[in-house]
Chains A and B, each alone.
Chain A
Amino acid sequence: MPDPHGDSADDAAAIEMSWAEPPQFAVLFDRHAPHIYRYIARRVGHSAVDDLVAEVFVAAFASRHRYDLAYRDARPWLYGIATNIIGSHRRDELRQFRIIQAVGPQAPSPGHADQVASDVTARAISGHLATALAGLADGDRDVLVLIAWEELTYEEVARALGIPVGTVRSRLYRARSQLRLVLDESSAAPTIEEVMTHE
């Protein structure tokens, strides 16, 4: 399994070297392709993930001369390109939400009590959550997924999507508010109210 932190300290150096020596760019693929693959597969499923991962790295390679070398870790940049490409496959993403709605998340894995509780709650309301996620504005959903699923920081999401950190916060707030609105109106509302808290 790839090191979740990878050796990203050299990303900027590798990109800079690739300006004159294009093969150097291959280093970024080996470091980050597994995360990008997993992100894309989570959002749009497996049927086209190979091609979409390829599109991400080919697009990144083509735009590498514009990369800001001040950022040593290129993964947020790649997440941003991947998110743009996912935006062109909204139908596949909505199909994924319908799958979650139909079959629910995986069985709870053993772990911290709060994690187990989250899993149990999620299984109970997954259908409503999936519907709510699908109903979000694209930009709001992108922010929510990058934070909740990919565990990026606000700053990393801002870099990925090319928006100010303040916009990340406001989109996240809007997404969470909308989810709560949908969930409050659902039959699962009593369950949700019982277990969820505001941050």
Chain B
Amino acid sequence: MSDLDVIAAIRPEVPFPTSVELDRARQRLADAIVNEMNVKETLESSVPSTAVTAVHPHKRPRWGRVALAGAVAAVAAGLTAVVVVPGNSAPNRPSDSLPVVHLAAVQFLDKAAASALDQTASPPLSSQFVYSETEDPDGTITDTWLSADGSSSGLSHWTAGAASPDAGTSGGNDLGPSCSIAQAEATGCTPIIGYYPDLPTDPNAVLPYLNRVGLVDTANNPSYDSLPGWENNVIGKTVSELMASSYLLPAQQAALFKLMAQTPGFQIVPSMTDAIGRTGVGIEWTFEGDAGAVIFDPTTYAYLGTRTWHGPADFNAPYDGDALVKLAVVSSAGALP
């Protein structure tokens, strides 16, 4: 052996950092990038010296909102309307650039809430169904139909992805018996509905409401305050479930984002890929050794999906999660937008 081998042997063994350990450095680079862009924009929009020069934060395109507003407005007429979640359809394009988000989780969620409030929407008819299409990392597609008011049974259908052990198979089942809000409050069944008309628009009222209708059970859980991250886990998972399967009015969406914003413990991950390889901004939390994240489109703030990591593995480890591909209101269970 050589002296270089011996020198190599005293090299301090340092593991590669986790994504969380790189967050601070990533944030500082993001700040530097945005700072340069702001300075450039100021110089390019120079005005006569007698006027006040305003420095505008770098603006991001708002193309996604026009399509969204137009689509949901059609719901009032009883027509089917399709909301296609923006994002690229080609997974795993590591050479794509990553939009830099230098905002803390609170600021990002506040902006997501403001973006939601820019939308216009009308609630679905009680006879209609909320349809959603989600995709797992192994390519499994799940189609779900939930009765808007819970008066009818819902339906789900799955097609196993190519990477799934069940590749080549499909199946489905009725989501019943039905359980409306009234039934949930009366009998304790878990609501199976696509639209929550009374979901509060006040973020402080959201958790009490969800407890009342049985979607969460924090009110009666004595360990609610004792386990670090418990509240983040409940809120993060509930927001994911509602965003992925429910028709939410803009103010209801905003309330969910504001609830996350005002809950300590959520952290921003400026770039995160969802289950089908789309790049977005992650709002993550940890609980009892697991980690979860809600992923948003960094430009339009649209909900992209959720991810869960089990155990202390870093974010390159295999994970669960699903991506929201499509959300729409349709006339009957089984109908496609």
| Contacts from A to B (Cβ < 8 Å) | 1-2, 7, 10, 13-14, 17, 21-27, 29-30, 33-35, 37-38, 41-42, 50-51, 53-54, 57-58, 61-62, 96, 99-100, 104-106, 114-115, 117-119, 121-123, 125-126, 129-130, 133, 144, 147-149, 176, 179-180, 192, 195-199
Give, as a whole number of angstroms, the nearest-CB distance from B285 to chain A: 21
Query: In the assembly, what is the distance between CA of A63 and CA of B94, in Å?
Result: 24
Whether B29 contacts A38 by the Cβ 8 Å rule is: no
Give, as a whole number of angstroms, the nearest-CB distance from B232 to chain A: 23
Given A50-B24, A61-B32, A198-B2, A179:B14 Cβ within 8 A: no
Query: In the assembly, what is the distance between CA of A50 and CA of B5, in Å?
Result: 29
Given A26-B271, A117-B1, A58:B10 Cβ within 8 A: no
Whether A34 contacts B37 by the Cβ 8 Å rule is: no
Q: A61-B36, A104-B10 are in contact. List 4 more A-B contacts (CB 8 A).
A: A22-B37, A54-B25, A176-B3, A195-B1
Look across to chain B and name the residue whose beta carbon is closest to the beta carbon of A144. B7
Look across to chain B and name the residue whose beta carbon is closest to the beta carbon of A175. B7
Query: In the assembly, what is the distance between CA of A29 and CA of B3, in Å?
Result: 33
Query: Which residues of B lie under 8 Å from residue A2 when comparing CB positions?
Result: 16, 316
Give, as a whole number of angstroms, the nearest-CB distance from B58 to chain A: 9
Query: In the assembly, what is the distance between CA of A34 and CA of B25, in Å?
Result: 11
Whether B16 contacts A118 by the Cβ 8 Å rule is: no
Give, as a whole number of angstroms, the nearest-CB distance from A69 to chain B: 16
Give, as a whole number of angstroms, the nearest-CB distance from A93 to chain B: 11
Give, as a whole number of angstroms, the nearest-CB distance from A98 to chain B: 12
Given A23-B97, A37-B21, A42-B11, A54:B29 Cβ within 8 A: yes
Query: Which residues of A lie under 8 Å from residue B3 when comparing CB positions?
Result: 176, 179-180, 196, 198-199
Query: Which residues of A lie under 8 Å from residue B162 when comparing CB positions?
Result: none
Whether A106 contacts B6 by the Cβ 8 Å rule is: no
Look across to chain A and name the residue whose beta carbon is closest to the beta carbon of B96. A27
Whether A148 contacts B29 by the Cβ 8 Å rule is: no
Whether A53 contacts B22 by the Cβ 8 Å rule is: yes
**Given A14, A54, A58, A96, which contacts B12 in the complex, CB threshold below 8 Å?**
A96
Query: In the assembly, what is the distance between CA of A58 and CA of B33, in Å?
Result: 8
Query: In the assembly, what is the distance between CA of A130 and CA of B9, in Å?
Result: 11
Query: In the assembly, what is the distance between CA of A119 and CA of B5, in Å?
Result: 9
Q: In this assembly, does B161 line the interface, its C-beta being within 8 Å of a C-beta of chain A?
A: no
List 9 A–B pairs whose Cβ atoms lie within 8 Å, in order of A's numbering: A14-B97, A21-B97, A26-B33, A26-B97, A37-B22, A42-B14, A57-B29, A121-B9, A179-B7
Query: Which residues of A lie under 8 Å from residue B94 when comparing CB positions?
Result: 7
Query: Which residues of B lie under 8 Å from residue A118 when comparing CB positions?
Result: 1, 5-6, 8-9
Whether A100 contacts B100 by the Cβ 8 Å rule is: no
Query: Which residues of B lie under 8 Å from residue A144 when comparing CB positions?
Result: 7
Whether A196 contacts B33 by the Cβ 8 Å rule is: no
Query: In the assembly, what is the distance between CA of A130 and CA of B246, in Å?
Result: 62
Whether B7 contacts A129 by the Cβ 8 Å rule is: yes
Whether A30 contacts B98 by the Cβ 8 Å rule is: yes
Look across to chain B and name the residue whose beta carbon is closest to the beta carbon of A59. B32
